[in-house]
Amino acid sequence: MAGIYLHIPFCKQACHYCDFHFSTSLKYKEEMLQAILKEINLQRHYLAGETIETIYFGGGTPSVLAPQEINQLIDAITAIHTVSPGAEITMEANPDDLDRQKLAGLRATPVNRFSIGIQSFFDEDLLWMNRVHRATEAEAAVKRAQDTGFENITVDLIYGYPLLTDVKWKHNLNKVFELDVPHISAYSMTVEPQTALAAFISKKKQPPMNDQQSAEQFTYMLDAMQQHGFEQYEISNYCKPGHYSRHNSNYWKGVKYLGVGPSAHSFNGVTRQWNIANNAKYIQSISTGELPAEIEELTETNRLNEYIMTALRTIWGLDIDRLNTIAPGSSTELLKAARPHFEDGSIVQNGSVITLTPHGKLYADNIAAELFFA
């Protein structure tokens, strides 16, 4: 089994915190669509005949595409690959794109899961983030999608930023619980270099993020999610029973995937590759039949560290027996490095599997980094 990710590099406007690759001009959307279609063919052998279990439209904002354009891309994939009859096909969407007409059109496509970028139910917060939609649109979009027959929905929320009081954070969570969606992704606001938010903070136009606030809001969320029947299966992802994101779960489990479009990454177990993050150069290169990608051969150390980084974030944990299949004897060194984290209650071991405790989840990235092999 494998997955395919399609990066649609267009947005109506730039969120202040976002460092993903996109353009706010749709001028070359048709040329980009044709280039992505051609890349699907150029990369036809990358997954070596694996059955496709998941297709994920990300970005950018893939909901700027018309339903017939979505169908074009899926048809191009199915013409080349064997796609599982029960494949999970996800499309990221902004609430303002999901009007009744668009939803009716998408209902006629194979898309069967939405990831809706809500972020907050407060207009002042959305304005601060420079989001396009408003709070009433967010709630209405979810309900419209449900009324149209889309039940497999995940929504995004952000916490840990200056405007978000604890009262507002509780309101945001309760509003999502009321909407009865089966999956929630919630992320702590991070300040990425080269973003508008980073510039505002460096010029003292905005205060820096507060780690204590983020930790407290994360801790509150853990309890609230549990009380409402959600399982935390990855640091930032929560779902009702049976509603894991299959695409993202496969990524954390090390399943192969192909990334198509500018800036998209691919992984086949042996190498990792990523396309150029420049729309014009991507289109030009693809038009000549050349793939504008850099390729990295994964060393044994790369594979060990990547497994540690992804597995430790999940409910399935880090299996030290799997480490030994990558590099015989590596579990001995890892367990030695992990001893302080066992002692302070950040991690626990059950059989051969190491998982983070609720306390350890606050420091997941730091713990993983300290377990990396040099």
Helix axes 29-42, 67-80, angle to 10 degrees: 10
Contacts of 58 (CB under 8 A, 6+ apart): 5, 6, 7, 8, 92
What the block records as the tokens of 360 is: 């350890």
167 burial level (CB within 10 Å; 0-12, 13-18, 19+): exposed
> Are the CB atoms for 146 and 122 separated by under 8 Å?
no
In angstroms, rounded to a whole number, what is the distance separating the alpha carbons of residues 270 and 297?
A: 6
Average pLDDT, the chain: 97
Question: What pLDDT is recorded for position 187?
Answer: 97
Question: What pLDDT is recorded for position 276?
Answer: 98
> If we measure between CA atoms, which residue out of 8, 23, 93, 90 comes closest to residue 54?
90
> If we measure between CA atoms, which residue out of 213, 112, 117 comes closest to residue 169?
213
Q: How far apart are the first and last CA of the chain?
A: 31
In angstroms, rounded to a whole number, what is the distance separating the alpha carbons of residues 305 and 254?
A: 12
pLDDT beneath 70, residues of the chain: none
In angstroms, rounded to a whole number, what is the distance separating the alpha carbons of residues 142 and 197?
A: 28
Peptide linkage before 60 cis (omega within 30 of 0): yes
pTM of the model: 0.96
In angstroms, rounded to a whole number, what is the distance separating the alpha carbons of residues 371 and 332?
A: 12
For the stretch 141-162, pLDDT in tens is 999 999 999 999 999 999 999 9
What the block records as the tokens of 350 is: 């059950």
How many Cβ atoms sit within 10 Å of the Cβ of residue 215?
15
Spell out the domains of the chain, with CATH numbers in brackets.
2-252 (3.20.20.70), 300-371 (1.10.10.920)
Question: What pLDDT is recorded for position 98?
Answer: 96
Question: What pLDDT is recorded for position 51?
Answer: 98
